[in-house]
Amino acid sequence: MQLQASTDLTCLSGRHAGQPSRPLRDRSLGAVPWAFAILVLGCLLLVGTVTASQAQPQGRAVLADAGMVVSASAPASQVGADVLRDGGNAVDAAVAVALALAVTWPEAGNLGGGGFMLVCPPDGRPPICVDYRETAPAAATADMYAPDESTLTHRAVGVPGTVRGLAVAHAQYGRLSWARLVQPAEQLARHGFLVDHHLAASIHGVLERKETQSDERFAELRRVFEPPDGQRWAAGQRLVQPDLAETLQRLADGGPGAFYSGLTAELIEAEMVRGGGLITRADLASYEARLRDAIQGQYRQYEIVGPPPPSSGGIAVVQALNILETFDLSSQSRFSVRNLHLIAEAQRRAFRDRALHLGDPDFVPIPTHLIDKQYARELAASIQVDRATPSLELAEPFEMVEESPETTHFSIIDADGLAVANTYTLEASWGSRIVVTGAGFVLNNEMGDFNWVPGRTDQQGRIGTPPNVIAPRKRMLSSMTPMIVKQDDRVLLITGSPGGRTIISTVLQMVLNVVEFQMDLPTAVAAPRQHHAWFPDRFDLERGQDAVYGEAIAGLEDLGHVVRQTRQQGSAHSIWVDPQSGVYVGVADERRGGAAVGVHSAED
């Protein structure tokens, strides 16, 4: 794959209302040192052509040679780039970015949630996944919820894992001190930052919901995020969070354990008591993040690295790629009826196995055949190229849980090639909407990702299987899919996305767009996305892409697919590494905003 001559070199960060701690060094080719400029121009002369069936680039590429950070927030991306400039590595930057996003993107960036960090060392050491998924409190039981019970309650909060997970990653790989990595987030919270229009819309959206305005559970959310003029948030206004700044200062002074004991833990427990939640200081003190072996697969000549259970993403993407590898996809255009059909059928089968088999590996056995090539050939043989397989023919449906699309992902690579893909969440947008009184951060509502009604059959799309039944200290199943693709043992692509179960589909298609259809990164990120989750038996296509799909929609319906056009899917903040030059290309997905910030080896 080659860089296109039309690629815009303007840094995305310059278009967002934030307050970086120092001027950006990659706003244009003129700001890049001459040696690097020659290298970039050499890459750009190797022009790749986009076929008529491919979407034209929307997000703008940022190029650099000594590091790249791409996240949902310009100030957070700048924090990560500054860490790299100060001698930190990609894991140091990931810790700092994750903490900064808790300040600058509070609908999903968090201290009160959990997620997965995929780390791929450049020195031959195996990739590792830091599993910091939330756990059920010790007092949780399998039947503790009514089927229609709200998840916007204290009872829906799982034990947060984010701080412990970041600490484990830092202890394993970090260079800079923990306090140095916490300090930028603390300063952003204490002195404030300028809100962009994405964050303004997010805050306004949650505050204007009827239940948020009327329910006492959300009084602290209203107080902390009340707009400065008493009306509504707008881009350019400053958001200051003094309670969160004090929480972060305790983390800087006392280390990551200060979240799980001491004043912060006391404030969390008091919040639980206030609202009838289950988490105690004993739950917090006993929480552990896990270092797990990454899921590894092979797609043609590419190595695929993803997260293991309790994330379902690594296994589901590798299985779908194994199925698709048996077909000659590149003989037709990316959005041909045949290719869209085959991708949907691979998704249908991967999501079926996800629902049947996957859960917390500390509680349930995970079958080893799911990513086996022979098993994939058997699944591929069940696909008919001229007919959509009704999902009921694969297996009867069973109770499923919905996953919120409000998560956030960031991608980072440093000068040495150490790569990090991190996806973490509060579950729903703004989680439970419960802010810990006096601590300033939002709590998750991840207990909703368990199976609330064991054994109930439902064709409407709620999935929760025996492996995902609630148990004390168990991790709930997740679709978060931070992913790294390697070629010749070198990192080629770092990607991931928010989007609930659609995360798996978005990441699968990002991999296919780059390695199968040879799209450049802006085109791969901008390309329309599709999703089939087995149940409901429906093929979702991103709305507003009629020029790309052409007559494909009618063709899919002729094959028996139930096609629905949906709103935007995911937000794939990604990095591609040019195999010839080693240049890092970062693209922030404009579907939800964000920023890519590069680091150069010879900055002024």
Element at 68 (helix H, strand E): strand 67-71
Least confident of 2-6, 109-113, 151-155, 573-577: 2-6
Residues 6+ apart with CB under 8 A from 457: 396, 397, 398, 399
Confidence (pLDDT) at 186 = 98
Q: Kindly report the backbone phi and psi dihedral angles of residue 551, in degrees, each rounded to the nearest multiple of 5, phi listed first.
A: -90, 10
Q: How far apart are CA 572 and CA 527, in angstroms?
A: 11
Sequence letter at residue 320 = A
Helices 313-324 and 337-357, axial angle in degrees (round to 10): 140
pLDDT grade for 392, boundaries at 50, 70 and 90:
confident
pLDDT band at 7 (very low <50, low <70, confident <90, very high): very low
Residue 455: pLDDT band with limits 50, 70, 90: low
pLDDT at 401 over 60: no
Q: Is a pLDDT exceeding 90 seen at residue 6?
A: no
| Position 14 pLDDT exceeds 60 | no
Confidence band, pLDDT 50/70/90 cuts, at residue 461: very low
Average pLDDT for 69-81: 97
Tell me how far apart the alpha carbons of residues 170 and 272 are, in angstroms, rounded to a whole number: 29
Please say whether the beta carbons of 195 and 264 come within 8 A. no
Q: What is the structure's pLDDT at 454?
A: 66
Q: pLDDT band for position 124 (50/70/90)?
A: confident
SS3 state at 63: strand
Per-residue pLDDT at 24: 30
Tokens at 334, concatenated: 């990316």
Supply the pLDDT for residue 140: 97
pLDDT of residue 407: 87
Distance separating alpha carbons of residues 211 and 271, to the nearest angstrom: 19
| Cβ–Cβ < 8 Å for 568, 36 | no
Number of independent structural domains in the chain: 1
Q: Which amino acid is at 89?
A: N
pLDDT (0 to 100) of residue 414: 98
Residue 463 reports pLDDT greater than 60: no
383 band by pLDDT with thresholds 50, 70 and 90: very high
Name the helix (H) or strand (E) containing 67.
strand 67-71
At 229 the pLDDT is: 80
Average pLDDT for 544-561: 88
CA distances to 74, 195, 197, 213 from 204, rounded to whole Å, are 20, 12, 10, 11
Write down the pLDDT at residue 97: 98
**Domain carrying residue 18:** 1-604
Rounded distance between C-alpha atoms, residue 311 and residue 320, angstroms: 15
Q: What is the pLDDT of residues 171-186, one digit of tens each?
A: 999 999 999 999 999 9
Q: Is 407 a catalytic residue?
A: yes
Average pLDDT of 513-518?
98
Q: Is the pLDDT of residue 508 over 90?
A: yes
Q: Amino acid identity of 24? A: L
**Residue 234 burial (C-beta neighbours within 10 Å; 0-12, 13-18, 19+):** middle
Indicate whether 277 pLDDT > 70: yes
pLDDT of residue 402: 53
CB neighbours of 275 closer than 8 A, spacing ≥ 6? 153, 154, 217, 434
Q: What is the mean pLDDT of residues 327-343?
A: 97
pLDDT of residue 225: 97
- Quick one: average pLDDT of 397-423? 80
This prediction's pTM: 0.90
Query: Could you tell me which of 180, 139, 204 has the C-alpha nearest to residue 429?
Result: 204
Question: What confidence score (pLDDT) does residue 406 get?
Answer: 63
- At 109 the pLDDT is 97
Per-residue pLDDT averaged across 244-259, rounded?
A: 98
Give the pLDDT confidence of 33-62 residue by residue, as tens digits.
Answer: 434 444 444 444 333 332 322 333 346 899
Confidence of residue 23 (pLDDT cuts 50, 70, 90): very low
CA distance linking residue 442 with residue 244, whole number of Å? 10
Catalytic residue, chosen from 104, 389, 407, 506, is: 407
pLDDT exceeds cutoff 90 at 562: yes
Confidence band of 405 (pLDDT split at 50, 70, 90): low
Q: Is the peptide bond before 536 cis (omega within 30 degrees of 0)?
A: yes
Note the pLDDT of residue 38. 41
The closest of 300, 294, 292, 301 to 489, measured between CA atoms, is 301
Would the pLDDT of 25 be above 60? Answer: no
Q: How far is CA 580 from CA 9, 47, 488, 492, 584, in A?
A: 19, 14, 12, 11, 11
Strands in 482-573 per DSSP E: 483-487, 490-495, 530-531, 539-542, 563-566
pLDDT for residue 59: 63
Q: Which element (helix H / strand E) includes 303?
A: strand 302-306
What was the pLDDT predicted at 42?
44
Read off the pLDDT of residues 198-239 as tens digits, 9 standing for 90 and up.
Answer: 999 999 999 989 889 889 999 999 999 999 887 889 999 999
Amino acid at position 69, single letter: V
Q: What angle (nearest 5°) sits at the alpha carbon of residue 83, between those of residues 183 and 186?
A: 15
Q: Whose CA is closest to 99, among 265, 268, 252? A: 252
Position 243 pLDDT exceeds 90: yes
Sheet holding 539-542, edge to edge: 530-531, 539-542, 563-566
d(CA 254, CA 72): 28
320 pLDDT above the threshold of 50: yes
The residue ranking higher by pLDDT, 191 or 394, is 191
Residue 133 has pLDDT above 70, yes or no: yes
